[in-house]
Structure 1
Amino acid sequence: MGATPLYIGSEIYRGSTYGPGHPLAIARVSTCTDLCRALGWLPDAVYREAPLASLEELARFHDPDYLAALKRAEMWQAVSEADRARFRIGADGNPVYREVFRRPATSAGGVLLAARLTRDGGIVHCPGGGNHHARPARAAGFCYINDPVLGLLAWRDAGIAPIVYLDIDAHHGDGVEEAFFNDETVFTISVHEAGRWPFTGAAAERAGGAARNLPVPAGFNDSEFRFLCEKAILPLIRDLGPRAIMLQCGADGLEEDPLARLSLSNNAHWWLIDQLRDLAPRLIVLGGGGYNPYSVGRLWAGVWATLNRFALPERLPTAAEAVLRGLTYHRAAGRNPPAHWFTTLRDAPREGPIRPEIRTLAARTLEPDRPACYA
């Protein structure tokens, strides 16, 4: 993949919030974009503005009645009891907010654009994508439109196969796995915290042979992450020989994240991207979860650096530091942030012992599918 990587962003994320007190009342994509620009990594030649996906494009996966309900919710800034009950808009942590249709439709438009831009090969970073929980007619897990599914379908519709979807969010990529159940063209792999919402993704779950799930214990560290990748995930991907890889690069597996109990540093994510970059002619890297604006912005900016093989500065220049100092974070950790949240992109590595359950999980991942009676 010799072409220069491309970056897809949008100004719709700037100032957009799910509302006070919600985990997504933070700046994420705009922080990543601003850091990349402040570091001189994002010239206009490689930046693309995400378009708003059309209703026709969204209906490739989503129920038209559901899409109409999202549009009504945005227009009225309210939701009827019938729509709430049927579509879970305004329920279960999926609030009605100012851009409740336009923002997820823009995320989807960005991922669809990424799929088009990589039709003949290439690399795209689209941090606004990665909303992996949404169902065809239901909001779930802060996700309203399942942009990874739409992007994967666009690749598949273009005759690109096989495809690997790799999800390293702290939460199981349930919506994507369901969408491609028993689909021989799209293979999903999810690394996520065991016992965490949505309480799916057990190691035995294989989606009819189209998935592998790696539920990991709390405290999952960089050493264990590399072990799972080297002993299970990367060999599996090489064996599949994909023509395209989509990575959902959620930041909620980082130790600083408030909604999970994993202990990764951002070095783990960047190391994996370095391994994936040459395994297929096409690579799209999405965002996903992440609820600490400092850790999310720094991680996703480092993703862009890794894709371009840019060297990370030991200390951020003044303009980049100002981006981070301008953030607000109302959780306890935001009252007295450590200095490195402002001055560096790279976390200290979080190495540790490789526990027996991680070794067992790696071995189990490479086992062939067994008849259902033995699962």
Structure 2
Amino acid sequence: MTPIFIGSEIYRGSSYGAWHPLHIPRVSTVMDLSRALGWLPPSQYRTSPRAKPRALTLFHTPDYIAALQQAEATQRVDDDTRARHGLGSTANPVFPEMYRRPATGAGGVMLAAELVRDGGIVHVPGGGTHHAMASYANGFCYLNDPVLCLLSLRQLGLARIAYVDIDAHHCDGVEAALTGASDMLMISVHEERRWPFTGALDDDGGGRALNLPVPRGLNDTEMRTILQRLILPALERFDPDAIVLQCGSDAIEEDPLSRLSLSNNAHAEVAVALTALAPRLIVLGGGGYNPWSVARCWTRVWGALNGWAVQGHIPEGAAQVLEGLRWNRRAAGRNPPEAWRSTLIDPPHEGPVRTEITDRIDHLRRRLPRARQLRETAS
């Protein structure tokens, strides 16, 4: 089936505030860049609906949804609400679309679940907010759309659902939500000693999670090793009906909020590899705080899901999209390298595979029989 892209114009001009890492354009640039490349025909595009409050209570508490709506309406949060729900903090500030924007992301992933009911691939770059808790905003995330996606797939009657997360930050909100879920398997690859400081190697989420914290400087060769020796074997044993991939681009070398060193080749390689392991695949966005690397990564992933690529310099219209980006928070943003503005594919970041990574993979591989047991339980 032809892959579907879910987007929305709400992301254009919507910002968490001038000093927040998410002040940069992301999804709108992916849409513009994909269209400029001829990769987003109307037949493959769907506009994301906004999830209704009742739909959001599939995971979130009614009190929290009401508080989030009230904060958007009044553009203020009192001390009690801030303490109870995490709204109005530095990480999760008050801004004009603080309910409508995440509710649109949630609506997009819930629509994606419906679209893959009978099989298929859907890309939702506005999704991936994996830190939010049931009644608490957390880590730039107001709603946990990955959890809403997983629960929506379950409501459709799917027996085994796998969640793979390659964001630089551990998916603490997803792991908390999946505790006790016998029909779910979670795999997370994330930077060690990085906020939120969860997802330790021996944290198994009650036997249903494989957490692989990795050291600084993770390269493409190491990510390929993780894919081939851990992610793919675990998924093959679990035999999922559906896979949800959180494809945060903050693990790319130029991102300011991590110290990993992947190229966008790694993200495309993971996404394509997962297409062969389940009849249904939903690819989300996630972290990513360099506007050029986010746009190029998620557009590259969308192209890879369709079997499209552009080597060397991109066409002039696509280059103009990247030329129009501004990022004054970093020196590189004020004078971006030419490749950020004129190419889509990163140079490979290959390198040695460190023993500390292979040792951790081996440690988790010894637990893979639990994944087999999980498959039998879920069936």
Matches within 5 A, 1:196-235: 196-235=194-233
8 A contact 1:209–1:369 mirrored in 2? no
8 A contact 1:162–1:185 mirrored in 2? yes
Matches within 5 A, 1:253-268: 253-268=251-266
Q: Does 1:337 align with 2:341?
A: no
Give the secondary-structure state (helix, strand or coil) at the position aligned to 1:73.
Answer: helix
Separation (CA, whole Å) in 1 of partners of 2:230 and 2:295? 29
8 A contact 2:326–2:334 mirrored in 1? no
Separation (CA, whole Å) in 2 of partners of 1:359 and 1:39? 39
The amino acid of 2:242's aligned partner reads A
Number of corresponding residues: 369
The amino acid of 1:365's aligned partner reads L
Matches within 5 A, 1:61-210: 61-210=59-208
Q: Report the equivalent of 2:373.
A: none
The amino acid of 1:350's aligned partner reads H
1:228 CA displacement = 1.0
8 A contact 1:172–1:201 mirrored in 2? yes
1:360 CA displacement = 0.4
Give the secondary-structure state (helix, strand or coil) at the position aligned to 1:207.
Answer: coil
Q: Report the equivalent of 2:21.
A: 23
Q: Report the equivalent of 2:271.
A: 273
Give the secondary-structure state (helix, strand or coil) at the position aligned to 2:54.
Answer: helix
Separation (CA, whole Å) in 1 of partners of 2:267 and 2:367? 27
1:250 CA displacement = 0.1
**What TM-score do you get using the length of structure 1 for normalisation?**
0.97
8 A contact 1:193–1:260 mirrored in 2? yes
Q: Which string of whole-angstrom CA distances, capped at 9 and with x for unpartnered residues, describes residues 246-293 of structure 1?
A: 000000000000000000000011111121111100000000000000
* Aligned residues: CA RMSD: 1.1
Q: Does 1:48 align with 2:46?
A: yes
8 A contact 1:165–1:245 mirrored in 2? yes
Q: Does 1:354 align with 2:341?
A: no
Give the secondary-structure state (helix, strand or coil) at the position aligned to 1:86.
Answer: helix
Separation (CA, whole Å) in 1 of partners of 2:342 and 2:44? 26
Q: Which string of whole-angstrom CA distances, capped at 9 and with x for unpartnered residues, describes residues 303-323 of structure 1?
A: 110000012242111110010
1:163/1:370 CA distance change after superposition, 3 Å: closer
Q: Report the equivalent of 2:376.
A: none
Q: Report the equivalent of 1:248.
A: 246
Q: Which string of whole-angstrom CA distances, capped at 9 and with x for unpartnered residues, describes residues 192-229 of structure 1?
A: 00000000000100011110000000001001000111
Q: After the TM superposition, which parts of structure 1 deviate over 4 Å for at least 4 consecutive aligned residues? A: none
The amino acid of 1:165's aligned partner reads Y
1:94 CA displacement = 0.5
Give the secondary-structure state (helix, strand or coil) at the position aligned to 1:270.
Answer: helix
Separation (CA, whole Å) in 1 of partners of 2:310 and 2:365? 35
Separation (CA, whole Å) in 1 of partners of 2:34 and 2:359? 39
Q: Report the equivalent of 1:295.
A: 293
Separation (CA, whole Å) in 2 of partners of 1:161 and 1:145? 24
Separation (CA, whole Å) in 2 of partners of 1:351 and 1:39? 27
8 A contact 2:110–2:148 mirrored in 1? yes
Separation (CA, whole Å) in 2 of partners of 1:83 and 1:125? 34
Separation (CA, whole Å) in 1 of partners of 2:138 and 2:272? 31
For structure 2, the 5+ residue unaligned runs are 371-379
Fraction of identical pairs, as percent:
57
8 A contact 1:92–1:140 mirrored in 2? no
Separation (CA, whole Å) in 1 of partners of 2:227 and 2:254? 22
Q: Which string of whole-angstrom CA distances, capped at 9 and with x for unpartnered residues, describes residues 81-107 of structure 1?
A: 111111010114110001000000000
Separation (CA, whole Å) in 1 of partners of 2:4 and 2:84? 38
Once structures 1 and 2 are overlaid, which stretch shifts more, 174-183 or 193-202? 174-183
1:122/1:369 CA distance change after superposition, 3 Å: closer
1:370 CA displacement = 10
**What TM-score do you get using the length of structure 2 for normalisation?**
0.96
Which residue among 263, 269, 283 is the counterpart of 1:285?
283
